[in-house]
Structure 1
Amino acid sequence: MTGNADAPQVAAAFASAADSLDTLAEAIAGLRSSLNTDEHLDSMLQRLAETAVKALPDADAVSVTVLSTDGPRTAASTADYLSEIDDAQHSADRGPCVDAARTVSSVRAKVGDHVDEWPEFTDEARKQGVRSYLSVPITMGEGNTELLGAFNVYGFASTEFKAFDEELMKLFTAGAGAAIADSRRWRQAHEHIEQLHCAMESRAEIEQAKGVLIAVHGIDAEEAFSRLVQQSQNTNVKLHEVARMLIDSVRHRRL
């Protein structure tokens, strides 16, 4: 009798597990699609947020907080009202998305559970009808020690998000971390290329200026370079700018 009575519960448990696995499979497929493209960082994070809100049954909206030198900012969101909730946290410098972004700990609770810690967030969340939330940190680097931001999930239901939801969101934070890391590497590479380009232009100008001094004064290359350096030091002007001014003066004389 006991076995028969438990049968519906067992069947329900298997059905729930199957649904969770289906959700996980869909989320992974969505992640692969979102990351298999070359686009701006915020656009990539927006695609991840839109995929995440579909993957979690109890999620009504998702935003992505990114930490920068200017402070936290909302890089992506699936609903306009999230900017009000996130801005309240950013302005007060506290709240679940800020705390998750600055620690390596997820925050999962119902609105009102931390009213004393995050009054600004609690007031704005209640105003927008949000009743539950989940914030998972975005990290990168060895041991996931470098904090980049947080994935924030908001729900209108009064029930707290589940541990499975938290684990599922970690897939998306991994994807977001990879996107941010790639964006940083691209920016650093771009800056390095620009620096090399400027260095090459400066070198060309210095070589031209040396050629002018050699032709005019009948000196060797070493002496020409020494004179340029001395002029740079005397006038407190960068060497390549001294070279450029010399070249420009010669061109004007020819005109």
Structure 2
Amino acid sequence: MSIDEVESAARLDEASAALEDLQGVLAGEEPIEEALKGLAEAAVRVTADAGAVSITVIDGDDARTVASTSDDVIRIDAEQYASGNGPCLEAARTLTPVRVVVGETLERWPAFADAATDAGVRAYLSAPLAVGDDVLGSLNVYGYTDEAFDPYDEALLRLFTTAASGAITAARRSARSRQIIANLTKALVSRAEIDQAKGALMAVHGIEPDVAFQRLVEESQVTNTKLVEVARRLLLSLREKSG
């Protein structure tokens, strides 16, 4: 086995170990930012010529860097978000890895080129993060020589983009589930307060449930106040009178 083959095998072993560590972090329900930070650190270790790695997450029209191995290069991605173009956004839009030599991008992506040059970055490789047609963002690798990165590096990064895409998707599903539960809990509490207010009106005025509810609705419309707020005010008023 040649020296290059030994080095490649070692890098694959380290990549596999890093991905196993990531699975452990996710299983422990660590914050997604922590998991992606660990993945970025693993990617920079196993990608030849990588000086730093960042991870971009895109949500609608909003793009942000959620993990980076160096604060020095975050501005490079921020300039792309601000201008609306650059290799990390291009990779996400086309779902294709984008490898560029910074000095050759001045006319196409001037904001990116200026920020990268200021940080001493000479080459930049972005790989898309996606599940099917659902674009999640990109994994971005910074190199400090023009010759940094090759097709093998792109292939290796697919391991990390697959893991990152899965982690982001799982986190979003979890967040949506928590929001649904929170909304349901809020709705149940609101309904209970409205029912209490309706019952109080029935007891005080000797009216039917439908009539009591209609009075709450009318007060809500007249005062331009949410129905649950009307119910809370009524209950508070009754408690103050009874106290």
Q: Within the alignment, does 1:179 sit opposite 2:179 as a pair?
A: no
What is the identity percentage for the equivalent residue pairs of Structure 1 and Structure 2?
45
- 1:66 is aligned, of 51, 57, 60, to 57
Q: Which amino acid aligns with 1:71?
A: D
The alpha-carbon deviation at position 152 of structure 1 amounts to: 0.6
Corresponding residue for residue 199 of structure 1? 187
**Alpha-carbon spacing, 1:154–1:246, altered in 2? closer, same or farther (3 Å):** same
Deviations 1:2-61 (A, max 9, x none): xxxxxxxxx64xx42343233122202201202322222221111110000011122111
Indicate the SS of the match to 2:221: helix
Q: Within the alignment, does 1:128 sit opposite 2:124 as a pair?
A: no
Q: Which runs of 5+ in 2 are unaligned?
A: none
**Alpha-carbon spacing, 1:235–1:120, altered in 2? closer, same or farther (3 Å):** closer
What count of residue pairs does the alignment treat as equivalent?
240
What TM-score do the two structures reach when normalised by structure 1? Answer: 0.87
Q: Distance in 2 between matches of 1:84 and 1:229?
A: 53
Q: Please say which structure displays the higher CA radius of gyration.
A: 1
Q: Which runs of 5+ in 1 are unaligned?
A: 1-10
Q: Within the alignment, does 1:41 sit opposite 2:32 as a pair?
A: yes
Indicate the SS of the match to 2:8: helix
Q: Distance in 1 between matches of 2:52 and 2:225?
A: 55
Q: Distance in 2 between matches of 1:201 and 1:123?
A: 54
Indicate the SS of the match to 2:207: coil
Corresponding residue for residue 48 of structure 2? 57
Q: Distance in 1 between matches of 2:57 and 2:231?
A: 43
CA contact (8 A) 2:52 2:141 kept: yes
How do 1:135-150 residues align onto structure 2 when only pairs under 5 Å count?
135-140=126-131, 144-150=132-138
Deviations 1:76-134 (A, max 9, x none): 11122112222222222221112113331110132223322112222222222222221
CA contact (8 A) 2:87 2:100 kept: no
Q: Within the alignment, does 1:84 sit opposite 2:72 as a pair?
A: no
Indicate the SS of the match to 1:72: strand
How do 1:91-240 residues align onto structure 2 when only pairs under 5 Å count?
91-140=82-131, 144-240=132-228
Q: Distance in 1 between matches of 2:94 and 2:128?
A: 7
